[in-house]
Structure 1
Amino acid sequence: MTKKYSFRFLWIGQSLANCGDVFYIVGLMTVVYVVTKSAILMTVIPFLTTVIRFISGILAPLILNKLGLKGTLVSSQIGKTLFLFFMALTLTLHLFGPNFLVVFFFVACISFLDGWASPARNAMVPMLIDRDRLVNANGFLSILDQSINLSGWALGGMLAALIGGANIVWTTFFLFIISSIFMFMIKIDTSINNSRKNNSSVGHFEVMREGWHAIWHKPVLRIISITDMIGTIASVVWMAAIVLVFVHQALRVNESWWGFINFSFFAGLIVGGLISIRLSDHINKHLKVVSLVGLFMTGIATMLFGWNTFPLLALIFSAVVGIFDQLRNVTFETLIQTNTKSDLLAQVYSAQDAMYSLSYGIATLVFGYLTDKIGVQLVFTLSSGLLFISFIYVMGSKNYLVKPEDVRADE
């Protein structure tokens, strides 16, 4: 029963935090644009968060080793709440200066702390959920995350119009306070973390490399990490700037279709999560097959989307991409959780987060350049090509994509 309530506190607290993360970015970008009328300064915010998340992912194992999973999660959320309070005061009192340097400093601090929270949360899940229900839990968490992504920006935009950007930041501050309370109420077995903290013979460098070492030396983790890194690069085509170019150049319709396509894509992700929950027992028995089908269908749908010129078909293809990408994500998440020791899981997630953040940041610049040089349809073709390469790679290594108990059963 304690696990059940702790999992509930985890997803409620993290959902409030994720919703707040979207709201404060919307509010901040609104204030920046109203004051400066500069699109460049607005783009500094997502770029800065990506770079800082990479740095945070590198250093997160040290924090996780010192504070444990719950301590890291609670400390991260309380720290974010304090920095957001100072940001809200700065915006309300107009103390940000002409270039918003003080505010960007707070953004960097919040992003750095946020880099601890994600691996801690993901590593907590298998400690609070039985193994045979991990697919169900991961699907449920994915639905929550994508629902917030789907509705948060729209709701944030509406709030910006109604109450103003600075007041949205204050709203986020109160969401963060409630989130911190829920995080504090989580109860987990701390014996694993305490044993690691008491082991003073492990140096800082050794702690930082544990996750990377596990990824490189355990085939299933290496396969999933490389595949997800390729998928992260391929997913850059779905960022707002490239989809907007596609709407104009390929579909030849107005900007409203950009919103429709984004909605369709995120709706597909939610449907994929619902399928994961509904068919969790079946998926749990066929993780390898589902992950391969997810990869292949994502590549096919991405290619069809890129070469399509009919707006309604674009909505269908983008939804299909979302559905199968979510199925692949849930199966990979379950394989990571079942193939990694509890005391290493957070370190593995930290290394992966750092890897994916760096890959996405670099790919954003490269794909933006290629969109101008070779055209948006060829960029989508490149994205689908990368997905097919990852499919072939996983297909050749599929025998490693099993849970430990499946290996014992075969033996």
Structure 2
Amino acid sequence: MFKRSFYVLWGSQTLSNTADVLYLVALTTFVLDRTGSVVFATLVPFLRVSAQLVSGLIAPLMIAKYRLPFLLTLSQFGQFVLFALLAVYLSPLIGGVQLLPVYAIIMCISFLDGWTTPARNALVPRLVADQALMKANGMVATTDQIVQFAGWAVSGVLVAAFGPFPVLVAVAAAYGLTMALTTMIEDPTEPKRRSPWDVRTGTDNGLAGGGAPDQPFGEQGTNRPPSRWDTLKEGWIALWQSPRLRSLTLMDMTDMLGGSVWAGAFLLVFVKEILLKGEQWWGYINASYFAGAVLGGLLVVALVERLERRLFTAMLLGMLGYAVLTVWFALNDHAPLTLFIVLLTGPFTELAAVSRRTLIQRSVDKELLPKVFSAQNTLLNTVSGLSLLLMSGIAEWFGIINMYLFAAAISVLAAGVGWLNRKSFKAKSTANL
């Protein structure tokens, strides 16, 4: 059911995600130590998301031209070089203190990283049998959450003990190893590579199944070479023309609009104003949240055979269960009970997320899937930024409790979007046509 390349992809991406957490903590700590300014420190994640957004917009051009494993390798090689340069700049030998070079390198690293998520998510269904797809997504989601759960705590200890420079050296080494592992991935949908330099796609024409991008989704047409504009908009057209993809993307965007309520600043306000506890409880809630997400991923993997038969229902159940628990969280002021509530949100969150990803992967031709994920990630990154602004305003004007209640209502709305479009989920997926 799982090809060898899937395990290589899974392991290399887990290592890459671990390195990401390490470098974010190291650089945020460095900037905060140098400036003492929270604004300058928050520029690190802001510039990262901004660069990934730009990268996502042009990713289809790269996807149309190059094999997905090569794009991953290229991204990780570039990040390896950039992290090495950053480590040298911050080393005791040079002792760089200017922030402009640091910010510039962060943007370049994040731009390269913008290809990684759509490439990974599109490779998974190529490397596993269809009946094992949900299990594979659950395994990937579980390790992602474990990295987030353990990574932030461990990286904070490492940075405090050794400083940013040694941590960045370790990050560069991790990316070097990740790059080496990625070269071992073989995409079974592409012709076998004739040499290490055989990196272009088998068709190199930017089309999914030979269909012209301006035609209705799934139709076959002429083989005319597409323009760059055609290639850039192909994933967007697929999102719009497929009722199922359109519904899933709208659900994702709606859900993402309320997803920022678990950001650290909002939780800290809730802990201090509602629970009347100190900052240590902020850490406890974060730990409980990630522990619940890990538990949720493990449950999805364990129950995958039952969930497969009711994938659409499982997705709606996950979203509604999350909404109910968010309301309970908002209305509760008992600190120990809060930890239990947050722990319970994990399984419902993972159930909804893994189900949605699996449905997307089964709803489009495997050749077009990377461009679809690229378009969707661009939308979700944009909504994520808007969500922070929206939720900040609601918390400021209406209070932190009403902000969480509003987020719960948004999740119910997202589930409602799915229910109203339920007919599109009864059709046979294009992946099986």
* TM-score greater than 0.5 by the shorter chain: yes
Aligned residue for 1:182?
Answer: 181
Aligned residue for 2:274?
Answer: 250
1:317 Cα shift?
Answer: 1.7
1:113 Cα shift?
Answer: 0.5
Aligned residue for 1:273?
Answer: 297
Q: Deviations over 1:120-146 (max 9, x none)?
A: 011000110000001110000000101
Aligned residue for 1:379?
Answer: 403
Correspondence 1:291 to 2:315: yes
1:337 Cα shift?
Answer: 0.8
Structure 1 counterpart of 2:243, which letter? P
The alignment covers a number of residue pairs equal to: 407
DSSP-derived class of the 1:195 partner: coil
Aligned residue for 1:145?
Answer: 144
CA distance in structure 1 between the aligned counterparts of 2:398 and 2:113, rounded to whole angstroms = 36
Which aligned pairs between 1:4-19 and structure 2 lie closer than 5 A?
4-19=3-18
Structure 2 counterpart of 1:215, which letter? L
CA distance in structure 1 between the aligned counterparts of 2:64 and 2:101, rounded to whole angstroms = 31
Aligned residue for 2:154?
Answer: 155
Correspondence 1:325 to 2:349: yes
CA distance in structure 1 between the aligned counterparts of 2:303 and 2:426, rounded to whole angstroms = 18
Structure 1 counterpart of 2:235, which letter? G
Q: Compare 396-405 and 220-229 and name the one that shifted more.
A: 396-405
1:383 Cα shift?
Answer: 0.3
CA distance in structure 2 between the aligned counterparts of 1:318 and 1:49, rounded to whole angstroms = 28
Structure 1 counterpart of 2:201, which letter? N
Q: Deviations over 1:97-133 (max 9, x none)?
A: 44x0101100001111111011001100011000000
Residue pair 1:335, 1:403 contacting (<8 A) in 2 also? no
Residue pair 1:126, 1:337 contacting (<8 A) in 2 also? yes
Q: Compare 385-394 and 138-147 and name the one that shifted more.
A: 385-394
Aligned residue for 1:230?
Answer: 254
DSSP-derived class of the 1:335 partner: helix
Aligned residue for 1:109?
Answer: 108
Residue pair 2:122, 2:370 contacting (<8 A) in 1 also? yes
Residue pair 1:335, 1:402 contacting (<8 A) in 2 also? no
User: C-alpha root-mean-square deviation of aligned residues, in Å?
Assistant: 1.9
Correspondence 1:193 to 2:192: no
1:197 Cα shift?
Answer: 3.8
CA distance in structure 2 between the aligned counterparts of 1:188 and 1:228, rounded to whole angstroms = 28
Which aligned pairs between 1:194-209 and structure 2 lie closer than 5 A?
194-197=202-205, 201-209=225-233
Unaligned runs of 5+ in 2: 192-199, 208-223
Aligned residue for 2:21?
Answer: 22
1:316 Cα shift?
Answer: 1.8
TM-score (norm 2): 0.90
Q: 1:120 to 1:102 in 2, by over 3 A?
A: same
Q: Deviations over 1:298-321 (max 9, x none)?
A: 111111111111112211221222
Residue pair 1:287, 1:402 contacting (<8 A) in 2 also? no
CA distance in structure 2 between the aligned counterparts of 1:314 and 1:33, rounded to whole angstroms = 30
Q: 2:412 aligns with which of 388, 392, 407?
A: 388
CA distance in structure 1 between the aligned counterparts of 2:289 and 2:319, rounded to whole angstroms = 16
Structure 1 counterpart of 2:130, which letter? R
Q: Compare 189-198 and 161-170 and name the one that shifted more.
A: 189-198
Q: Compare 86-95 and 132-141 and name the one that shifted more.
A: 86-95
DSSP-derived class of the 1:194 partner: coil
Q: 1:198 to 1:268 in 2, by over 3 A?
A: closer
1:405 Cα shift?
Answer: 6.1
Which aligned pairs between 1:331-370 and structure 2 lie closer than 5 A?
331-370=355-394
Unaligned runs of 5+ in 1: none
1:193 Cα shift?
Answer: 3.3
Aligned residue for 2:211?
Answer: none
Q: Deviations over 1:162-193 (max 9, x none)?
A: 11111111110000011001101111132493
Residue pair 2:259, 2:387 contacting (<8 A) in 1 also? no
Q: Compare 211-220 and 313-322 and name the one that shifted more.
A: 313-322
CA distance in structure 1 between the aligned counterparts of 2:387 and 2:50, rounded to whole angstroms = 13
CA distance in structure 1 between the aligned counterparts of 2:136 and 2:36, rounded to whole angstroms = 43
CA distance in structure 2 between the aligned counterparts of 1:28 and 1:243, rounded to whole angstroms = 23
Correspondence 1:86 to 2:94: no
1:87 Cα shift?
Answer: 0.9
TM-score (norm 1): 0.95
Q: 1:71 to 1:403 in 2, by over 3 A?
A: farther
Structure 1 counterpart of 2:421, which letter? S
Indicate the structure with greater helix content.
Answer: 1
Identical aligned pairs, as a percentage?
31
1:77 Cα shift?
Answer: 0.7
1:400 Cα shift?
Answer: 1.8
Residue pair 2:21, 2:151 contacting (<8 A) in 1 also? yes
1:94 Cα shift?
Answer: 4.7
DSSP-derived class of the 1:211 partner: helix
Q: 1:215 to 1:291 in 2, by over 3 A?
A: same
